[in-house]
Amino acid sequence: MIDQDALAKLARNMEQHAFRRGFVSAFTLAAYPIEPHDELTLHITRECDGLVFGNAEVGSTEAMKACIEALDGHLDYVIYDTGLFGDILHPDSIREWSNRKSVLLPYSDMGVWVASVRHLLLTLCPDFLLAKTVVVAKGGQGEPFASRLAIDLAWFCQDLWIYNVDEEGADQPGQRDAIFKGADIIIGASIYRQAITADDIERTGRKPIIIDAGIGTITPKAAEYARSHGLVMVRIDNRAAMAGTLFTIIQSHDLVTRVMGKGEIDGIPVVAGGVVGAPGTVIVDSINNPVQAIGIADGSGKVLYDPAGDEERRKLEIVKKEVERNAGD
């Protein structure tokens, strides 16, 4: 049974926290990666660079509705995981909940975990681009995550391997040895399923970095082997990637709703925020509150910083003077 009072108290506390700090507030609703025992799990509230954000994992339609009801109007943004589509979330629900005081937007929780792995490796391992990396999966629900992670890392890593423990023929003589031999990084990418063994680590013949991306992917013997041999062994912490994702979502919404658009200043057509203007249109930094004239549109999406003729120069100067007056006010 959902504790409505606890949810309401959380919403009020976050609202007050954000108000006192002058921060934006957001809350994410994520899908359970496995069959849940509880309908709802709340996590610690955090703040980062002007943002107060919380998170919950929801396991039922009732839990989703309870969170929406409690958070709406108290927080600036309620952001739901696209992994909730199915039994918990339907298109009709989105239409039903769209008329809310808080802004309701989607995100991908799996995408956050993938980004967490990528940025951790790029920071932790300076030569990651040249390292031999093995992504280890173990069938079931770990496969989509492992596949998406491998696709993402393939843009950065020149020597990337995927090993699915449950795949038919995975233990053919010599195959496992060939995959793990010389590996610099081993990533466990099965959600809550043990996949990395001590034998796998030993097969590398090196001292690889061990990344637990699926949480619980390292067997006890493998963990003991890594500790006894002084190996770096890290469980993914997604708080940085989550904050970055929220900043991107919120800033993108702000771009579309407040910056992007077209209009006129002193009768001169202007565009902002990526809108492709007709040739000769003046480009400004924001359609709602312009404070800078950037240049002239060429009609195909490019910016001409040097006006092509007297007429374009005249229009640009008029808009510049007007927006500078606005900035001064």
Instruction: Indicate the helix (H) or strand (E) that contains 324.
Output: helix 310-328
Domains of the chain: residue spans and CATH: 4-107 (no CATH), 111-237 (3.40.50.720), 261-328 (no CATH)
Q: Which of 107-116, 193-202, 280-289, 317-326 has the lowest mean pLDDT?
A: 317-326
pLDDT of residue 140: 58
Separation CA 11–CA 15 (nearest Å): 6
Residue 142 has pLDDT above 60, yes or no: no
Calculate mean pLDDT across residues 294-311: 92
pLDDT of residue 36: 62
pLDDT of residue 18: 97
**pLDDT tens digits for 248-272?**
999 999 999 999 999 999 999 999 9
**Under 8 Å CB-to-CB from 76, ≥6 apart: which residues?**
18, 24, 25, 26, 102, 103, 250
**Position of tokens 């800033």?**
251
Q: Which two tokens stand for residue 270?
A: 């202007």
